[in-house]
Amino acid sequence: MPLLPSSSAPKNPFSRIAQLQQLGTQPEWDLIVIGGGATGLGVALDALSRGYRTLLLERDDVAKGTSSRSTKLVHGGVRYLAQGDVGLVREALYERGLLLQNAPHLVSNQAFIIPNYQWWGGAFYTIGLKLYDLLAGRLSLGASVHINRADTLRRLGNLRPQGLRGGVLYHDGQFDDARLAVNLAQTVIEQGGTVLTHFPVTGLLKDAQGRIGGVRAEDAETGRPYELRGRVVVNATGIFVDDIRRLDQPEVPPLVRPSQGVHLVVDKSFLPGDDALMIPKTEDGRVLFAVPWHGRVVLGTTDTPLDAISAEPRALAEEIEFILRTAGRYLARPPQRADVRSVFAGLRPLAAPTKGSAQTKEISRSHKLLVSAAGLLTITGGKWTTYRRMGQDVVDRAIEVGGLPPRPSQTAGLRIHGAQAPTDRRSHLYVYGSDLPALQQLMQQRPELAEPLVPEAEFSRAEVVWAARYELARTVEDVLARRVRLLFLDAAAAERAAQVVAELLATELGHDAAWQQAQVAAFTALARQYQLEKIERHPEA
């Protein structure tokens, strides 16, 4: 694609100016979607694929919450198969195959190995995963096979050899969650939709009969209030769905039961090969993964029921210890606390069961739709892999709620912005897909932007400019957490990069020195919550 002008020019469709201008062109939207995570983006894109006028509003940034804090897997869910939820697994495997086709620059075929230390393990897991392959059908990523002890040790590199009998190799999907969210937002805009981040919804508009007909919202950057009318309002705010539901019905009981999942990021040396490790049963009955990701390894996850909901959940000491202890039982060189480059926590918006359970691993991961008496359409539950199907189901229901002209979904074959199979994944720049030539052109035109943000990180200054111009980034956190992912890969390095990112953004977006200072201070405080050493030194900071 040719280089577009800077973000201050209205003819750049991704600029905030261009998106704000569209608010004045629509007296009424067909759908107003609240929430810019995986679910909200899936709803907006499905609606646009059917020709409906669609506005998406996000309080913070795309994928700010749960959608940037996953285990980085696009998967059917081996655990759900063990629980007998064949329908959910079949649906997820189908969606996994579509994602690999529609976003090949971000979704890849990842080999996983389950090590076997019991005599029965090889046959047991091989048979189970053959069913997994069968459910995937023509969208299978490869056959599951048993491998011998020598191959298991060779492929995983740092596996504990004592008592090992062999392994089972199977295939699933691996991806960059926040980058996919950014590309989905770009696709929504390219399909004619409007996306506004840092734009919280503060209220719901109702007519004389008490039916919802729009939202009150505010531009967080300017403080300007808006009243925006829509035939259907969709609440897709993840762990915050109950906050929006209470704008409609203040006394409504909670719909979501949050569960916290924690991940630790360590150096690639702890899993030096290309394969991922899957530990099939931990002491709490879950599975634990060690997954190669952007030249590091992600270890996780946990499943901790919580009562309080936060935009920045904190890992608990016992969760960190659980991951290190479990990984240490399987790795010949176990990771220590000092090896952790970043620790991040996310809250799953699990749909609470009607009869309840103390164990969140028993709560359904399937999504649920709810329409209030006033017409607020809420979706909860689900997971990244099935975001497209969730969007389709919501829009099917929105057609009924809003009396929209029925049209079929077109997203199954819709290519996502940047879709282009990478020829070389050795450079981190492969995630830009079809945008890569234009990004490289920017670095050629301005060689100073080819310099790294910090010497120890691979990310360049050009990526900050690109994020501000074309990827809706508005803050230092937007860039370092969800555009270049440095906060999740090496939180200390991200903290050191904050100053140069603030300077680049200020130049690009027209901010002053006071804005830069405030941004650096805010991001520094945030980055310290991702550094294990600083968490333990100042747990209440």
pLDDT class of 76 with cuts at 50, 70, 90: confident
Do 276 and 153 lie in a common domain?
Answer: yes
The CATH number of whichever domain residue 338 belongs to comes to 3.30.9.10
167/191 same-domain check: no
Q: Is the pLDDT confidence value at 7 over 80?
A: no
Within this chain, do residues 346 and 292 fall inside the same structural domain, yes or no?
Answer: yes
Q: What does the alpha-carbon distance between residue 312 and residue 344 come to, in Å, rounded to a whole number?
A: 9
pLDDT grade, residue 540 (50/70/90)? Answer: low
Q: Using omega within 30 degrees of 0 as the cis cutoff, is the peptide bond preceding 66 cis? A: no
Residue 178 has pLDDT above 50, yes or no: yes
Full 3-state SS string of 344-403: EEEEEEEECCCCCCCCHHHCCCCCEEEECCCCCEEEECCCHHHHHHHHHHHHHHHHHHHC
What is the residue range of 245's domain?
16-66+179-254+365-413
Residue 61, pLDDT above cutoff 90: yes
pLDDT of residue 4: 44
| Helix axis angle, 436-445 to 461-470, nearest 10° | 120
Range among 130-134, 140-144, 187-191 with highest mean pLDDT value: 187-191
Give the pLDDT mean for 472-500.
98
- 274 and 217 within one domain: no
Kindly indicate the confidence band of residue 121, based on its pLDDT and cuts at 50, 70 and 90: confident
Q: Could you tell me which residues are beta bridge partners of residue 464? A: none
The radius of gyration computed from the CA coordinates of the chain, to the nearest angstrom, equals 23
The answer to whether the CB of 319 falls within 8 A of the CB of 302 is yes
Residue 48 falls within a domain, yes or no?
Answer: yes
Strands 256-267 and 342-351, sheet pairing:
antiparallel
| Domain count across the chain | 3
The answer, as to whether pTM is greater than 0.75, is yes
370 and 261 fall within a common domain? no
419 has a pLDDT exceeding 90: yes
Asked if residue 510 has pLDDT above 90, the reply is: yes
Do 390 and 483 belong to one domain?
no
**pLDDT, greater one: 284 or 292:** 292
CATH number, position 508:
1.10.8
Mean pLDDT of 140-155: 96
pLDDT at residue 352, rounded to an integer: 62
Residue with tokens 């009981």: 253
Q: Identify whether 8 is part of a domain.
A: no
Span 184-234, pLDDT tens digits: 999 999 999 999 999 999 999 999 999 999 999 999 999 999 999 999 999
What single string gives the DSSP state of each residue in 24-60?
A: TT-SSEEEEEE--SHHHHHHHHHHHHTT--EEEE-SS
Query: What is the distance between the alpha carbons of residues 54 and 73, in angstroms, rounded to a whole number?
Result: 29
Predicted confidence (pLDDT) at residue 24 exceeds the cutoff of 80: yes
Instruction: Give the pLDDT of residue 537.
Output: 66
Quickly state the pLDDT bin for 538 (edges 50, 70, 90).
Answer: low
Q: Is the dihedral of CA 481, 487, 493, 496 positive or negative?
A: positive
> Quick check: is 517 in a domain?
yes
One domain, residues 286 and 140? yes
Cα 538 to Cα 254, 461, 533: the distances in Å are: 33, 31, 9
Query: One-letter amino acid identity for 162?
Result: Q
CATH number at residue 250: 3.50.50.60
